[in-house]
Amino acid sequence: MFETYELLVIAMLGSFILLIFSGFPVAWVLAGLAIIFSVVGVLSSQFLDWDTYYMNDWRIYGTIIQRIYAQMSNWVLVALPMFIFMGLMLERSGVAERLMVNFVNLFGRFRGGLGVAVILIGILFAASTGIVGASVVLLAMLSMPVMLEQKYSPSFASGIVASSGTLGILIPPSIMLIIMADQLSLSVGSLFMGALVPGLLLGGLYIVYVILSAIFNPKVCQPPLNLPPVSMELIWSTLKAVFPPLALILSVLGSIFMGIVSPTEAAGVGAFGATVLAILNKRFNMKMLAEVCRKTTITTSFVFGIFLGATAFAVVLRTLGGDEFISDLLQGIPLSPAGIVAVILLIAFVAGFFLDWLEISLILLPLVGPVVVALEFNLVWFVVLFALALQTSFLTPPVGFSLFYLKGVAPPGVTTLHIYKGVIPFVLLQLLAVLLVFLFPDLVLWLPEVIYG
């Protein structure tokens, strides 16, 4: 039989899952459940005479306040609004438009070349912004009309755009990795370096799939027509289009990897660099700056609102004994340590169908992190694996945000069914990447070891 505290933990987690589907804001759901179950927990400990080790008085609210204050005063999280600003500013700088025109002219003459061009731009944009919504919308607006005009299948084009846009959540600088590092007290720089190779590997898998599809299934795309001949002028123009985002990437990631600045300071460098690019491309004005600042404030407020609710939720859940309950439950599974990690990844993958990556990162990751440490696995390796599994949440219905972003800006004639069918192969490729990193940990651990010894 379950103990009283175990029943409360199960009820708390179950209530959260049920209320997610009510449409009520997630931040309020988390905070509200924290208040309700803290009261229930204290009253239970006082009147039901259960083990008072977990929660025995009202000091739990002081603990919640202290944890929220510590969370909001965390220097690492200062990087979030600056990286968001960098992504939004870069979106309006005109860099992506120049990249698209030059990449289409250079690579588009090959069968599947347009798709490869979109993925390459997605990789560059991912390493420059880290914001999935901006990447998907921008790639869709720039590339979808061109691909459909060149007789690409709507499903094939939709899958390419949606999956390429989601690379921004994994390839550093990634907002998700910053939050995960904060939750488990890991080095942001180590996570960035650990995720770089798997992120590029995933982009490479996308490119291989597009090329093979173009070769073995010609119905999905046709070679583009009416393109200018390859010339030194075209190659030089493409290099000039690649240089600005590449310089921004090197200034942000290079300064972190070489130990010149912290990730927080690098975020400021990135925000400044994106603004300079907008000025050089003559896209900068005060109206645009005000709009970018407004959207940065809204996005940051949304993220931190969930942060506060999740912090309160996590404090109450842990005080009720949630850590021990989850740990005992997972370690009681009759599987090897690797099998337990596989179960955790499966739970994250399934949860991604119904929950956003942010809620999963803030609630599930802190609970399973200590279990992974107890099983003697490298935590950086596990977090990158976890991030890879969560990346699928952007492409899996019914809560696949990349699907919503794409549908909102897709040309007429591209249906929801086209989008769902198009992303299925790319979800399978993401799972393949999870398997490869699971089987070959050095894909994650090699670069941090080279940098830090």
pLDDT, tens only, 204-244: 999 999 999 988 888 888 776 666 677 788 788 878 888 88
3-state secondary structure of 285: coil
- Has residue 394 got a pLDDT over 60? yes
What local confidence, expressed as pLDDT, does residue 53 receive?
A: 45
Q: Which of these ranges, 4-13, 21-30, 47-56, 242-251, has the smallest mean pLDDT?
A: 47-56
Average pLDDT over residues 254-269: 80
Two tokens, residue 127: 């390493």
Residue 55 is predicted with a pLDDT of 59
Which distant-in-sequence residues (6+ apart) come within 8 Å of 122 by Cβ?
Answer: 135, 139, 163, 164, 165, 167, 168, 203
- Whether a cis peptide bond, with omega within 30° of 0, leads into 245 is no
Q: What is the pLDDT of residues 401-419, one digit of tens each?
A: 788 778 877 888 888 888 8
Q: Which pLDDT band, with edges at 50, 70 and 90, does 264 fall under? A: confident
Q: For residue 396, what are the contacts with CB-CB under 8 A and spacing of at least 6?
A: 352, 353, 427
Distance in angstroms (rounded) separating the CA atoms of residues 409 and 398: 18
Quote the pLDDT of residue 1.
Answer: 43
Position 383 confidence tier, pLDDT thresholds 50, 70, 90: very high
Give pLDDT, residue 52.
Answer: 43
Higher pLDDT, 391 or 3: 391
Mean pLDDT, residues 274-295: 89
Mean pLDDT across 238-256: 81
Look at 95 and 49; give whichever has higher pLDDT. 95
Give the pLDDT score at 49.
Answer: 55
Q: Per-residue pLDDT averaged across 243-247, rounded? A: 83
Cis peptide before 425 (omega within 30 of 0): no
Max Cα distance, the chain (Å):
82
Overall average pLDDT of the 129-141 stretch = 74
The residue-averaged pLDDT of 247-267 equals: 80
Phi/psi at 112 (nearest 5 deg)? 85, 0
By percentage, how much of the chain surpasses pLDDT 90? 17
Distance separating alpha carbons of residues 310 and 158, to the nearest angstrom: 33
Please tell me the predicted confidence (pLDDT) of residue 54: 53
Q: Indicate whether 41 pLDDT > 90.
A: no
Nearest to 215 by CA among 116, 111, 120, 109: 111
Rounded Cα distance, 156 and 221, in Å? 8
Taking the C-alpha atoms of residue 11 and residue 364, their distance in angstroms, rounded to an integer, is 15
pLDDT average, residue stretch 311-334 = 81
Mean pLDDT across the stretch 326-347?
86
